[in-house]
Amino acid sequence: MTADPRPRRTFAVISHPDAGKSTLTEALALHAAVIQEAGAVHGKAGRKGTVSDWMEMERARGISITSAALQFEHRGTVVNLVDTPGHADFSEDTYRVLSAVDSAVMLVDAAKGLEPQTLKLFRVCAQRGLPVLTVVNKWDRPGLDPFELLDQVEQQIGLKPTPLTWPVGAAGDFHGVLDRRDGHFVRFTRTAGGATRAPEEHLTPEQAEAAVGDDWVEALEGHELLSADDADHDQASYLAGRTTPVIFASALQNFGVGQLLDLLLDVAPAPGPTPAVDGGVREPGDDFSAFVFKVQSGLDAQHRDRLAYARVCSGRFERGMVVTHAATGRPFATKYAQTVFGRDRTVVETAEPGDVIGLVNAAALKVGDTVYAGKPVRYPPITSFAPEHFATATVADTGRWKSFRRGIEQLDEEGVVQVLRSEWRGEQAPVLAAVGPMQFEVVAARLESEFRAPVRLERLGYELARTVRPDQAEEVAGLRGVEVLARRDGTLLALFPDEWRLRFVQRDHPHLELTALPAGG
């Protein structure tokens, strides 16, 4: 079999719920030739397409809890859009997806500007050094002034915005955009529901002025102001995470979507070398390797299978190849690799660096694990994020205690939730720590359906966690309102009821080292 020579772009969309991520995803798929579609992309009830059916809860709510990937081709490049679960509730999965991509698209609602969840996700991107493209969406309806939006981006996330297009006409009275790269007017024509491919028409500046008059002149002024402020795209600064190119779009009306695809091909980074734990790197052209960024169980109640989603980091994946599981040194047969999940499962034959594969029967694979062929390699584990929600779990029927313990253990290993323990709490009532409260519901549902161990969850009044030095743990645990517990990896976490209590402790006990965990905290 010959290697697939097409270049790759692997990215995720970060946004706050309702900014238009599902709409954009559909619009992107419409523009491009969809190659493979992983089940969970169209997560909203009533939408066309495929809602994965792995859990009743998911179906009942019409949301997608699972992460999957959509693969399509644009101008000869294979684009992988890795889905971030799209619900108001956050989970660690949302963060982990960002370890599987090479860049991010930050989707901002023109009327709402930067919102909390976008900011949280942006912080993870910044930590991981992911370059970010910004799309201001919903420009077809009233919104903020474009300069105000740029200010928000610069002030709140610290990236200098470098608009590649500039709106002609205010939000809600949108004629199109000025393409700052060639000075042309990209005219926007409204279509019914944006159902067709991008209605974009390119006009010269003269034609533009004749067509929209003052709005064009104003856009030109905006463009000049930006240039005077040095807000022009610079590839090196974008890749280094200092600037963010910005475009103005209407996903619903299909405007700017083609521009975004072009931009991804023109400026977003291709899969590059992946750093390994030993300090070396694996180049895309080296032997096969991949790392698991998401594990999903209970997809199919009858078969109890476990699917590990892995991003190919190097080499070519061919179905049937036997790879080595770096954590155990054991061989792992990839007879059943697939890219499509949910109802329709399509077997994947080959995959290249940047692609996402689903490995079936992956009971041994955990989040953060590496699999490889040829020369051994091991990638660093995925960071555990700062939990903000805490609850104790106890088994409802003491006769099911053993199953409960096994279930908690497994869900901890899968990374569904972080399990914290302390002598004081005892084995009977571990503390579950989550980035988003929906993780608790997933735990409860899975303990009941897969382990037949219904649980009682009791929310605890903590809001933040800090790591504690082992030699200071006792002192911290003795403080009023603070509790210290251990994570599976041995890290000690102190839980605080709120920011005030934490500041109080820091002020009165400056010698205590209380370190924030990555993101969300």
Q: For ligand G4P, which is the closer residue by CB, 79 or 108?
A: 108
Smallest separation, CB 107 to ligand G4P (Å): 7
Considering only 250, 289, 339, 384, the residue that binds ligand G4P (CB under 6 A) is: 250
Written as six digits, the tokens of 189 are 């024509």
Q: How many CB atoms lie within 10 A of CB 513?
A: 12
Q: Residue 250 CB, nearest distance to ligand G4P (Å)?
A: 4
Applying CB under 6 A, the span of 219-227, 250-258, 368-376, 443-451 interacting with ligand G4P comes to 250-258
Give the separation between CA 405 and CA 310, rounded to whole angstroms. 28
Q: For ligand G4P, which is the closer residue by CB, 251 or 307?
A: 251
> What's the CA gap between 95 and 59, in Å, rounded?
23
CB of 255 to ligand G4P, least distance (A): 8
Q: Does 364 bind ligand G4P (CB under 6 A)?
A: no
- Residues in 120-159 at the binding interface with ligand G4P, rule: CB under 6 A: 137-138, 140-141
Indicate the annotated binding residues for GTP.
83-87
Nearer to ligand G4P, 342 or 387 (CB): 342
Choose between 254 and 384: whose C-beta lies nearer to ligand G4P.
254
β-bridge mates for residue 332, sequence order: 323
Within 220-239, which residues bind ligand G4P (CB under 6 A)?
Answer: none
Our finding on whether 252 is near ligand G4P (CB under 6 A) is yes
Residue 251 interacting with ligand G4P (CB under 6 A)? yes
Residues near 521 by beta carbon (within 8 Å), at least 6 away in sequence? 385, 386, 388, 464, 465, 466
* Interacting positions 22-41 with ligand G4P (CB under 6 A): 22-23
**How many positions of this chain bind ligand G4P (CB under 6 A)?**
18
- Taking the complex as a whole, the smallest distance from the CB of residue 44 to ligand G4P amounts, in Å, to 5
106 or 251, CB closer to ligand G4P? Answer: 251
For ligand G4P, give the closer residue by CB, 141 or 425: 141
CB of 105 to ligand G4P, least distance (A): 12
Angle, in degrees to the nearest 10, between helices 205-212 and 214-228:
130
Residue nearest to ligand G4P (CB): 20
| DSSP string for 205-255 | HHHHHHHHTHHHHHHHHHHHHHHHTT----HHHHHTTSEEEEEE-BTTTTB
State yes or no: residue 118 binds ligand G4P (CB under 6 A): no
The residue among 115 and 154 lying less far from ligand G4P, judged by its C-beta, is 115
Q: Of 19 and 453, which CB lies nearer to ligand G4P in the complex structure?
A: 19
Q: Least distance (Å) from ligand G4P to the CB of residue 191?
A: 13
**Does the protein bind ligand G4P through residue 19 (CB under 6 A)?**
yes
Which class for 206: exposed (0-12), middle (13-18), buried (19 or more C-beta within 10 A)? exposed
d(CA 346, CA 334) in angstroms, rounded, equals 14
d(CA 233, CA 177): 16
Q: How far is CA 80 from CA 103, 118, 288, 409, in A?
A: 11, 21, 18, 32
Query: Angle formed by the axes of helices 438-451 and 401-414, to 10°?
Result: 130
Which residue type, as a one-letter code, is found at position 497? P
- For 13-35, b where at least 16 C-beta lie within 10 A, e where not — what string? bbbbbebbbbbbbbbbbbbbeee
State yes or no: residue 67 binds ligand G4P (CB under 6 A). Answer: no
* Under 8 Å between Cβ of 347 and 320: no
- For the chain, how long is the longest CA-to-CA vector? 80
Give the residues lining the site for ligand G4P (CB under 6 A): 15, 17-23, 44, 86, 137-138, 140-141, 250-253
